[in-house]
Structure formats: C-alpha cells, structure tokens
Chain A
C-alpha cells in the first residue's frame, strides 16, 4: 500500500517535472521571439547596454581570471607526462593551445558566467517583479522588456566573447608556468608553438559559440526573473533555476555546435 503510494508520488513528481520543463522551453521560445521583435526597434538603450556590459564584465573578471589560470596550469600538468610517454613533449604547447581555444576556455568561461551572471539577472529582475518595480516602470510608459531584458541579453551576448578571449590568454600564462616548472622554455617559444598549432578553424568557432552561450545566459536569467511569481520564494527559485537551466543549455548547445563546427571546418 505504502509502496504504491510512494510510486504514485514519484510518478506525479516526474510528470510535474516534465511538464515544467516543457513550459520553460515554450516560455523561452516566446521570450526569444519577443527579444528579436524588439531588438531592432528604437530606442536602442545604448547607455543601458554599456552599463550592463561594464557591470557584468567587472563582476566576472576576477573569477574567470583565477579559473583561466588554473585551467591552463592543470591541463598542462596533466598532459605533460602523457606527451613525454609518447615522445611528443615538444607538441605540448600546441596541444594545450588547441584544447584551450577550441573547448576549455569557451565552455568553462560560459559556465562560470552562467553561475555568476544568470543567477544575478534572475534575482535582480525577479525582485523587481515581485516588488512591483517592473509594473511601476510600465505605468510610467516605459517598455520594461526593452529597458530591462533586451539590454541585459545584448550585454551578455557581447561581453562573453570578450571575456573568453581574455581567459584564453590567462590560461596560456598558467600553461606556460606549468611548462617552465618541468622544462626550460622561453615564453616566446611557447607562444610561437601555440600560434603555429592553433588554426583559424580552431579559434573562430571557439569564439563564435560564446556569442550563443552569452545569449543563453542572458535569455534564461531574464526569462526566469521577469516571469517570477510568489514573492521572495519565487525570487530565490528564479536565481537558482536560471543557473541550472542556462548551464544545461550551454552544454547541450556546445554538443550541437561542436558537431556543426567539425562539419564546417573538418580537422582531419
């Protein structure tokens, strides 16, 4: 009796979860349609976009710097013994460079950005929604979607690629440190080896996909915050689910984009 009750509850929870997932997907779809409808219509709120880019960039810079440096250092330390084993230690900078440029820097920067920014946008807009600040804006005749949402999505989309390029260089510094700890190599030789190995087909797709990741972070955070309900509980939920949904979507889209990249720029 109790077993069947527990099973029923589990099945109801699963159904509820699936239903909520599809509601979020449908909501995000509508939300992005509204974004593309509004983004080309003036006023363009350039000042707000610039302000958000400043804030988001500064907010994320310290944590991506540390992460980028450690990633570069650790990946080099991990790869060094393997490369030595195969007698390919000279190829270490090139291999690390490709890994960082193609995958590690874009995805890890995007995931950190999602954790830091998506939750922040979700909480900020959610709090504005439940305290009627968004209503107050609407009542004064200001298009709150354009002023609050379009500007944030735009800022996220364009600041993430800049952060990623920065992280790539910081990761190279970390990687170089790991290299000089185990073998004698000048920084210029290290960079030359990286530049010789990393091609256009490695760098451009890696950077281009961060525009998509930035858009995902902006749209998910804005959607969850802008549609928040149920007071402070709703704000907390908006913040946490923003991170979960945007991180998951980044990984799913990464898979799709890697496949598309390999099709457009075959490596073999």
Chain B
C-alpha cells in the first residue's frame, strides 16, 4: 500500500515553547491513524500543519507525493480540495443554513447542476441521519448535530484524506459513540484515509487501525490500540489509566 501522508521531521515552536520536535510518521492508503496525547502536546498543531494552516519551522509534509510547503497557493488549493477536515467545534458558517454550508464546497469547486447538488446534499444528510436539518441555521443545532453536519460538509466532496480534530469532544457518551461509529461507517463506505486527533479512548478503539502517542512534542509510542493499552510502559499505563478514569467520569457525568 502506498503512503498517502508522510510527515518527516516536522518541528514547530511558539516563541520558546517547542510543540513538535522532529515528528515523523506516515499513513497508508485506507488507514485510520489516531493521534493521542495530553492537552497541549501539539496534536491539533500537527493537523493544522498538514493542511498548511500553520507553517512548521522545519521538516516536510508530503501528501500524495507532494510536499505541501513547496506548493504555490493555487496548487495547494488543489491538494486541499481533495481532503476533508472536521474541526473541533465543527466550524459551520454561522451566516449560512445547513443547505448552504453543504452547498458551499460544491459551488466553489464543481460545475454540478442545482439538481445534482441537491441530490448530493440530501444523500450526505441521509448518511449522517439529519435530513430534517436541511433548512436550519447552525445556531439551531445541538453540539452533536453540528458535528454531524460538519462531517457531512467534509465528506460531501468525497475526499481521499480526512482529518478529524477531536471529533467527540464535548459530546455525551452516547452521541460520542454514535459519531465514532458513523466515522468508521463512512470510512468503510467511502474508502478514505484518516488521521484522527482525540483524547477519547472509546472513539479510538472503534476507529483506529494504528495509533501514535505524542508527548512533549515527540512520538512517545506507536502501535495498535490493543498493543498500546496492554503495554507495560509506565508512561502509557499512566496515560491510559487517566483516560479510562476520565472516560468513566464522562460516562457517569461526574
């Protein structure tokens, strides 16, 4: 299988605070890679570097054979058109209805007729089970619904690569599990490659093929979720026990 994303020795610091320190890993076609780590360990920064919302201080990020930092803005946008990004807060456009949010990437990048656009919007809303929300404004949606619509907007262009920034943060355990299962379902049906940044062990257990653990800007561990949770490494035991306690607290609304 070919590598869809290759991250080579990427470093990023904000003033004197090093967030990423020569981070390297690759993601194969069709693989779901989970990035674990405590708050402030640079997980979201890594995702933003992948789509060049942030420029790393050094290193390279190769998507489909092209270093995104060597591309001019026109070529970068061509790469961006082929990827989807689910933001932590869904980042739906406030001034647009759900229909307009979903229509936006289609109008900007494709010459579809209004009928085809409408069919695509309905199909993607059906996939996230929110057909009735089509004419609602983002302010009328709950947190879980926003995430679903954000997901629908990200997949409407059928991207080859999906990036998820904390897809289940702020959701109750049931909605969180639903979103995780939905992500896995969509991955399978659309055959996408994914990088998922999360704290949520349950979400990772459902989605991940492989995971890495970031700590103080470096990759501390790498492996399947089963391997990582069964590891005798004191750091991992400590990290996952905290995650399990937090998960337990979340489930019991403590």
Residues of A within 8 A of B (CB): 124, 127-128, 131-133, 135-143
Contact = CB atoms under 8 A, between A and B. Distances in A.
Given A141-B108, A142-B108, A136 B85 contact: yes
Nearest to A140: B105
Given A133-B94, A137-B93, A140-B157, 13 more contacts: A131-B94, A132-B87, A133-B91, A133-B92, A135-B87, A136-B91, A139-B51, A139-B83, A140-B81, A141-B77, A141-B108, A141-B109, A142-B77
B89 to A, nearest CB: 6
Chain A interface secondary structure, helix, strand, loop or mixed?
A: helix
Task: Output the residue of B48, B108, B109, B157 with the most chain A CB within 10 A.
Answer: B108
B88 interface: yes
Interface of B: 48, 51, 53, 73, 77-78, 80-81, 83, 85, 87-89, 91-95, 104-105, 108-109, 157
16 contacts: A124-B95, A128-B93, A131-B94, A132-B91, A133-B91, A133-B92, A135-B87, A136-B87, A138-B80, A139-B51, A139-B53, A139-B80, A139-B85, A141-B80, A141-B109, A142-B105
A141 B92 contact: no
B89 A132 contact: yes
Nearest to A136: B91
B109 A128 contact: no
Contacts of A132: 87-89, 91
A189 to B, nearest CB: 49
B94 A127 contact: yes
A173 B70 CA distance: 61
Contacts of B94: 127-128, 131, 133
A34 B81 CA distance: 23
A131 B88 CA distance: 9
Contacts of B80: 138-141
